Amino acid sequence: MVLSEQQNFYPDISFVDDEGHRFALDLKSTYRVDGNRVNGMTLGAFTGYFRERNSTKNITFPYGSYSGHFVLGVIYSKTDGLIDERRRYNLEELERITSVIRDFQFFAQEKYHIASDRPGSGNTKNIGSVTEIDKLISGSGPFASLGEDVFDDYWMYYLTKDMARAAELKRPPYTNLRSYLKYKGLAK
């Protein structure tokens, strides 16, 4: 087990077996917005080390040297009501302290099984996750049936509007999975 050197390095934990095979494990959390959906998670960058598979910048080992990329996820509910986090408690009151989160649900999936076809945040270049709880738990995001090669190709060449302009394109060649499949000639 090799822990990440920096907070912003990928992955959080690298496992290396006796034959030298590497497995990436990222720890992710998100909160429920209702009984069926979560707020979503970011699943790592789609630029930098993701595109430059031999790069060692912001990553423990080169991305291409990992045999698999996994997510250990935690889904939780926010506690309803006002909680005064500044209140002081004495030791006898320890059991009366209200937690700010509750109802934990854990899952483990390969990254591409829970990835969506949209970025995970507006101002960074991160892969987003699906937001349906059942899809996170079962690993049935849109790339799960298409395979990791399609996931890799989609995100390695995905362009934001700004990236397309910088490449002197009027617009990105695709903006979602449907337009990607059409662009690649894989859909009608």
Active-site residue, selected from the candidate residues 28, 111, 125, 135: 28
Four-CA torsion 149, 109, 24, 124, nearest 10 degrees: 70
Query: CA-CA distances (angstroms) from residue 84 to 76, 87, 90, 163, 171?
Result: 20, 6, 15, 44, 48
Q: By the 8 A CB rule, do 162 and 170 touch? A: no
26 noted as active-site residue: yes
Question: How far is 183 from 188, CA to CA, in rounded Å?
Answer: 10
Give CA separation, 95 vs 37, 76, 92, 162, in Å: 31, 20, 8, 51
Query: Considering 26, 125, 135, 152, which one is annotated as catalytic?
Result: 26
Nearest to 170 by CA among 179, 180, 159: 159
d(C-alpha 176, C-alpha 188), whole Å: 15
- Please, what is the end-to-end C-alpha distance for the chain in angstroms? 45
CA separation for the pair 116, 107 (Å, rounded): 17
Positions marked active-site: 12, 26, 28
